[in-house]
Every structure is written in structure tokens, then in C-alpha cells.
Structure 1
Amino acid sequence: MSVKRIMAGLGLITTAILLIIILFTSWYTVDESEQALVMTFGEANETITESGLNFKMPWPIQQVEVLSKETFSLQFGYEQEDGEIQSFPEETKMITGDENIVLADLVVQWKIVDAKKYLFHAEDPEEVLYDTTAASIRSIIGSSEIDDALTSGKAEIELEVRDLLSSLMEKYDIGISIQAVQLQDVELPNEEVRQAFTAVTDARETMNTKENQANKYRNQLINEAEGEKDAIESRAEGEKTARIEQARGDVAIFDKLYAEYQTNPDITRQRLIIETLEEVLPNAEVYIMNDDGGTLKYLPLNPLERSQPAPTEEAESEEGQ
């Protein structure tokens, strides 16, 4: 075999190897949950966020770093693997604003939002995130009271840690976005102190329960008083309306009497006198004297005399004789 044939064979093999390299290194795939950073001779120049099959220059001209777009979880103060939890109390021990010691661990949800900054602005961005998380939680706990850290103030502490951590990540500019911060456990360092604090917490809850009951009873009394006041006002309005209507009726009657009085003053005057006597003396019998000294019975008539005929003037004169 001649040297030329050997060289020709080596050239074919080399060409085939180069073609294979070009074929397998010129295409890459990005899933929906991924993002890719294309680098030309080690320099980042393009970020691919759309899923699909993409073309690039073959290696070693261009390389691709594929990163996830999903949310990651950073566990601070503990580690969970295969359902087993391992705590790191030395990392979670911190001092509150009122100089008490607590153990606090938490979970940070974060995402990669800039692949170029994530790969090139920090040597180990996850370590930077971990250290920044430790600094943030210690800063917020250090300005909070122990009661807030152990009871009702956890939500506010979570929010403040998230805001502080987000601002630090923006300052460090390493392509990480903080999605959420959740406290897992905030507790006292030993059992004796925990029991004492639990007793204080129970007493406070009892006090709050009593206060709520007292407020409920007070509100009930206030509502009853308001209802009674409304009822009194309603009765007063009804009585006011009734008296107004009665007064209007009295005025109407008076107007009619006055009209009659203007027409027949004497008769109306006598009628008013008689009606007044009947009202003042309801059981009395009223008699009217005529001009010749005789009497004429006026209303009300005696029920026993209603069935008898009325005496004539002749009978009355005979009785007089």
C-alpha cells in the first residue's frame, strides 16, 4: 500500500469525523421548561427561551448552556432527603430585637430569569443566594420581637424577608428572581423555655378570648339598647301622628261649629251648652223650662217613659189645677 493511499484514507476518515462532529453539534433542543444560552468562543451572545429545535455553529465555535425555567427551592437551616429531615441549629440560631434567642428556618422559592447573568456574574450564584438568605432572615428577626416571631407576626416577617432578599438579588445582579419566602419553624432553643413561653401564650389566648366575649356581650347590649331606642322613637312618632290627626279633626269640627254658629248663633250656643252638660253629667236628666213655668224634658229620655205616650198640654194643665 502506497503512502498516497494511506494519506487519502486518513483524509477521508478525518473528513468523516468532522462531518459527524458538525452534524451532532450543530443542533440542539430546548424544552418548554428550559432556556438556553448560546456562546460563541466562550462569549455569551444570545438567550433562547422558546422551545423547539435550534441550529448553531458547530463545536468548538459555538456552545450552548441549557438552564431550567422552573422554580427552585432553597432550604435554609435544614435539609430534606428521602423523607428524612436533618436540621442545622447552628445556622438557624439568631437573636430577636428584644434579645431572645430563637431558631428559624425557611424555604426560598426562586427562578433563573437571566441566563447570562446567572452564568457569568457570580462564580456560584446559589451560594450567593444562600448567604444572602441568611443575612436577610437574621436582619429581620433581629428587628422583631420574640412574640411576633413565634406567633402572629410570621406573615409580616416572611414579607419583609422576601422584600429584603429581592432587593439584594437585584443589587447583586446575578439573574435570580425571588418568588416566595416561607418560614418553616420558629422555635425557642430548649424545652424549658418553650414550656414557659407556651404558658404565656396560653394565658394571652385566654385573655383574648375573654376580651372577645366581653366585646360580644357589650355589642349585644348596645344592639338591644339601639332596638329599644328605635321602638320608643317609633311609638313617639306614632303618637305624634295620632295627636296631629286628632288635632286636625278637632279643628275641622270647630270649623263646622263656627260655620253653624255664624248662621244661627242662639241655637248653636244652646246646643253646645246642652251637649257639654251631657258630657259632664252623663247620668243626669236635663229639663228645660218653658215660658209659662212648665217643664219640657230634654234628652236623654228615661227608658221607662219611652213606652208611655207623651202628655198633652191639657193633661198637664189639669194636673196643675
Structure 2
Amino acid sequence: MSLRKLYVLTGAVILAALLVLVALTSWYTVDESEQAVILTFGEVEEGISEPGLHFKLPWPIQSVETLSKETFSLQFGYEEKNGEIQDFPDETKMITGDENIVLADLVVQWKITNPEKYLFNSDSPKEVLYDATSASVRSIIGNSKIDDALTSGKAEIEAEVRDLLSSLVEKYDIGVSVLAVKLQDVELPNDDVRKAFTDVTDARETMNTKINEANKYRNQKINEAEGEKDALISRAQGEKAARIEGARGDVAVFNALYGEYKGNPEITRERLVIETLEQVLPGAEIYIMNDDGNTLKYFPIRPLEGEQPKPTVEGSEENNG
């Protein structure tokens, strides 16, 4: 084979290889769950988020970096593999604001929102996110009380951790967004501490129960007292009205008597004396006293009146005859 033919054959092979390379690296596809970044000699040109077939300059002029659009889960303080959970207590041990030790692990939902920053602003954005998560949860737990961390304050702690973590991620500018933060477990470090805290919690619940019972009893007594007060007021108002009406009647009688008295004073005076005696004497006891030295001091008329026999009807008729 001549040298010329060798050159021609070598050139043909190189050209064919170049054509194959161009054919294989001039197009790419983006799935619906993916996003892509076009690099021209290593420099970012644009981001592609539309799914489908796309064309570009062949390698090594342009290359493509494909990233997922899915939501990722960062597990802080534990790791779940093949249905088994492995805890890392040294990473989750932290001190609350009232100087108690707790173990707190959580999961962070996040996604890539800026592929360029995610690829080139940090060597390991996942590690940055993990460290930011650790700093955020320790900061919030460190400002919270143990009761809030273990019981009803978890939702507020989650919201505060999410806000702080989002601000840190935005400051670090690593191209990710935090979607949610969920506390998985917040517990005490050992059985003795757990028992002591349980005893305190039970005592607090008992105290609250007693307070509620006392408030119920107080409200009951207050209602009863209010009812008695209303009854007394109503009774007093009725008595007041009755006395006012009685006084008005007495005034009317007095005015009538006074009118009679002005016209006939003597007759009215005698009538008043007689009416008074009629009211007083029927109930009076009459005694005749003798103080001349004899044994009999008084003569009981009222008992004798009761002993006198009443005259019969026949005897009365005979006497009348």
C-alpha cells in the first residue's frame, strides 16, 4: 500500500470518528423530572427546564449537566437504609434554653432551584445544607424550653428552623430551596431522665386537673350565690313595694280621719278612743286588787268568767215568761 493511500485511509477513519462524535454529542433529551445546564468550554450558557429533544454544539465545544427536579430529603441525625434506621446520637444531642439535654432529629425537604449555582457555587452543596440544618436546629432548640421541644411547641420549632435554614441557604447561595422541616423525634438522653420528666409531667397534669376542679367548684358556688342574691333582691323589692303601699294606705286613712277630726273633733276623738279600747281590751287580763292586809290580794275575774254556766234556752224562755 502506498503512503498516499495510507494517508487517505487514516483521514477517512478520523473523519468518520469525528462524524460519529458529532452525531452522538450534538443532541440530548431532558425528561419531565429533569433540568439541564449547557456549558460552552466549561462556562455556563443557559439552563434548560423544558422536557424533550434539544440540540447543541458537539463535544468538546458544549456539554450538558442534567439535574433532577424532584424533592430531596435530608435526614439529620439518622439514616434509613433498606427499611432499617440507624441513629447518630452524637449529632443530635443538644442543649435547650433551660439547660436540659435532648436528642432531636429531623428531615428537611428541599429541591434544586438554580442548577448553575448548585453546580458551581459550592464543591458540596449537600454538605453545606447539612451543616446549615445542624446550625439552625441547634440555634432554635437552644432558645426553646424543654417542655416546648417535647410536647406542644414542636410545630413552632419546626417553623422557626425552616425560616432560619431558608435564610442561611439564601445567604450561602447554593441554588437550593427549603420546602419543609419536620421533627422526627425529640427525646431525652436516658431512661432516668425520661422517668423524671414523666413524673414532672404527670404532676403538672394533676395540678391542672385540680385547678380545673377548683375553678368548677368556684364557678358553681358563685352561680349559687348570684342566685341567692337575686332572690334576696327580688324579695326585698317585693317587701319594699308592699310597705310603700301599706304606708300609702295608712296615709289615706290618716288623712280621712284628719278630715273628720277637723269637722267634729270631739266626736272623732271619742270614736278613736272607743275603737282603741275595742282593740285593746278583748285581749287584756282584768284583776281586782285588794291591799287592806287580807290574804286575798286580787280577784281573778277571767277564770271565773270561764266557769260560769251558760243559761239554757228553756230557762231563758221561763224567765221571760
Q: Does TM, normalized by the shorter one, top 0.5?
A: yes
Distance 1:72 1:215, change over 3 A: farther
TM-fit CA distance, 1:113: 0.3
Question: What do the CA deviations read for 1:176-228 (whole angstroms, capped 9, x no partner)?
Answer: 100000111111111100011012122223334455566677778999999x8
Pair 1:45–1:220, CA change in 2 (3 A): farther
Structure 2 CA distance for partners of 1:20 and 1:147, relative to 1, 3 Å: same
**Could you tell me which residue of structure 2 aligns to residue 105 of structure 1?**
105
SS at match of 1:79: strand
Amino acid in structure 1 at the alignment position of 2:134: A
In 1, Cα distance between equivalents of 2:170 and 2:219 = 50
Higher mean C-alpha displacement, 196-205 vs 37-46: 196-205
Match of 1:39 in 2: 39
Query: Runs of 5+ in structure 2 lacking a partner?
Result: 232-321
CA shift at 1:8, angstroms?
1.1
Instruction: Summarize the alignment of residues 1-321 of structure 1 with structure 2, pairs less than 5 Å apart.
Output: 1-211=1-211
> 1:259 matched to which residue of 2?
none
Classify the secondary structure of the residue corresponding to 1:97.
coil
Which amino acid in the other structure matches residue 36 of structure 1?
Answer: A
The ranges of structure 1 where at least 4 consecutive aligned residues each deviate by more than 4 angstroms after the TM superposition are 209-226
Q: Secondary structure at the match of 1:161?
A: helix
Cα distance in 2 for partners of 1:51, 1:216 equals 66
Q: Secondary structure at the match of 1:98?
A: coil
Q: Any idea what SS the aligned residue of 2:60 has?
A: coil
- Distance in 1, Cα, partners of 2:57 & 2:224: 84
Letter in 2 for 1:115: P
Residue 3 of structure 1, CA deviation: 1.4
Q: Secondary structure at the match of 2:144?
A: coil
Change (3 A) 1:170 1:216: farther
What per-residue deviation string (whole Å, max 9, x for no partner) do you get for residues 242-278 of structure 1?
xxxxxxxxxxxxxxxxxxxxxxxxxxxxxxxxxxxxx
CA distance in 1, matches of 2:173, 2:92: 26
> For residue 82 of structure 2, what is the amino acid of its counterpart?
D
| Change over 3 Å in CA distance of 1:93–1:61 after alignment to 2 | same
Q: Distance in 1 between matches of 2:215 and 2:43?
A: 69
Q: 2-side partners of 1:119 and 1:105: how far apart?
A: 28
Question: CA–CA distance in 1 between the matches of 2:220 and 2:28?
Answer: 73
Q: Report how many residues are paired.
A: 231
Report the counterpart of residue 267 of structure 1 in structure 2.
Answer: none
Other-structure match for 1:318: none
> In 2, Cα distance between the equivalents of 1:14 and 1:221?
104
- Secondary structure at the aligned position of 2:66 is classed as strand
Q: Distance in 2 between matches of 1:207 and 1:48?
A: 62
Counterpart-to-counterpart distance in 2, 1:44 and 1:88: 39
| Change over 3 Å in CA distance of 1:102–1:8 after alignment to 2 | same
Q: 1:102 to 1:21 in 2, by over 3 A?
A: same
Once residues 98 and 211 of structure 1 are traced to their aligned partners in structure 2, the CA distance between those partners, rounded to angstroms, is 25
Cα distance in 1 for partners of 2:10, 2:203 equals 89
Structure 1, unaligned runs of 5 or more: 233-321
Report the secondary structure of 2:94's partner residue: strand
Q: Secondary structure at the match of 1:166?
A: helix
C-alpha distance in structure 2 between counterparts of 1:223 and 1:36, whole Å? 73
Deviation at 1:112, TM superposition (A): 0.4
Q: What's the CA shift for 1:2?
A: 1.2
Equivalent-residue separation in structure 2 for 1:15 and 1:190 (angstroms): 72
Instruction: Tell me the secondary structure at the aligned position of residue 148 of structure 2.
Output: helix
1:4 deviates by 1.4
* CA positional deviation for 1:66: 0.3
Query: SS state of the match for residue 174, structure 1?
Result: coil
Q: In the superposition, relative to structure 1, how do residues 57 and 98 fare at CA in structure 2: closer, same or farther (>3 Å)?
A: same
Deviation at 1:7, TM superposition (A): 1.4
